[in-house]
Amino acid sequence: MTRTLRIAPSILSADFSRLGEEVRAVEAAGADLIHFDVMDNHYVPNLTIGPMVCAAVRPHVKIPIDVHLMVAPVDRIIPDFAEAGANLITFHPEAAAHVDRTLQLIRDSGCRAGLVLNPATPLNVLDHVMDRLDVVLLMSVNPGFGGQSFIGSALAKLRAVRARIDAHVAAGGAPIWLEIDGGVKVDNIAAIAAAGADTFVAGSAVFGARDPDGGYHGILARLRGALGEA
Ligand code: DX5
Ligand code: ZN
């Protein structure tokens, strides 16, 4: 089976003083999505960027912006991100009072919707919402910081979610992306793909490997090469 594979550089590890150039450079190098990490110093112990920065980045690239909300509460901020040009919005079920309602709210705002599962979050949060999901994002680190090591148990979890998605599609359901976030590197991305992921967030691996000319063609080519897509 051939699966479309997507690379989503996380701008958490980009140079925030030159974000426009950074997102243009990863798009030019062939990135498929811009992964946009939103942290509130409440749901996670770190504070990052919000809708105003999303709106500022939006005109610099054509590729979709993949907003990963690590905030609680969730609902209030969704229309702001839709307005700011987000294309996908994912959130953590532990941070939402009414998961089904929040998933509907994201789609009603014109974006694709997804749930994010922390390393210890059980898969049963997916049980009754498969038809409301466009993406499942599995965390392979605990959320809050870039540059952490991949948690190995995420591979078995990926295989389990892949089986659920394949069963859902076989039963007539719409496709659902399976995204992985945390500690993705050139040396483990092939094993992560083999476990079933189709969309790969990479923060420090990409933005820590700038080419001498300031671009990111080298690291994107190495990631795609490891995926067998050189
Ligand atoms: C962590 C964020 C990640 C982070 C990944 O909470 O959700 O998207 O940027 O960074 P790396 O790829 O360095 O693990
Ligand atoms: Zn993320």
How far apart CA 10 and CA 148 sit, in angstroms, is 13
Whether residue 190 is contained in a domain is answered as: yes
How far apart CA 31 and CA 62 sit, in angstroms, is 11
Q: Are 31 and 8 in contact (CB under 8 A)?
A: yes
Q: Does the beta carbon of 11 sit less than 6 angstroms from any atom of ligand 1?
A: no
Q: Are 155 and 192 in contact (CB under 8 A)?
A: yes
Whether residue 1 is contained in a domain is answered as: no
Whether residue 134 is contained in a domain is answered as: yes
Residue 114, strand partner residues: 90, 135
Q: Does the beta carbon of 205 sit less than 6 angstroms from any atom of ligand 1?
A: yes
Number of domains in the chain: 1
Q: State which ligand 1 atom lies nearest to the alpha carbon of 44.
A: 6
> pLDDT (tens digit, 9 = 90+) per residue, 116-164?
999 999 999 999 999 999 999 999 999 999 999 999 999 999 999 999 9
Whether residue 62 is contained in a domain is answered as: yes
CA distances from 222 to 16, 147, 157 (A): 24, 18, 25
**CATH code, domain with 154:** 3.20.20.70
Whether residue 160 is contained in a domain is answered as: yes
Question: Which ligand sits closest to the CA of 66?
Answer: 2
Helix (H, G, I), strand (E, B) or coil at 69: strand
pLDDT of residue 54: 98
> pLDDT (tens digit, 9 = 90+) per residue, 189-228?
999 999 999 999 999 999 999 999 999 999 999 999 999 9
Whether residue 51 is contained in a domain is answered as: yes
pTM, two decimals, is 0.98
Residue 37 bears catalytic tag: yes
Torsion angle defined by CA atoms of residues 125, 130, 131 and 132, in that order, rounded to the nearest 10 degrees = 40
Whether residue 165 is contained in a domain is answered as: yes
How far apart CA 107 and CA 193 sit, in angstroms, is 27
Question: Which ligand sits closest to the CA of 151?
Answer: 1
**Which range of residues forms the domain containing residue 146?**
6-227
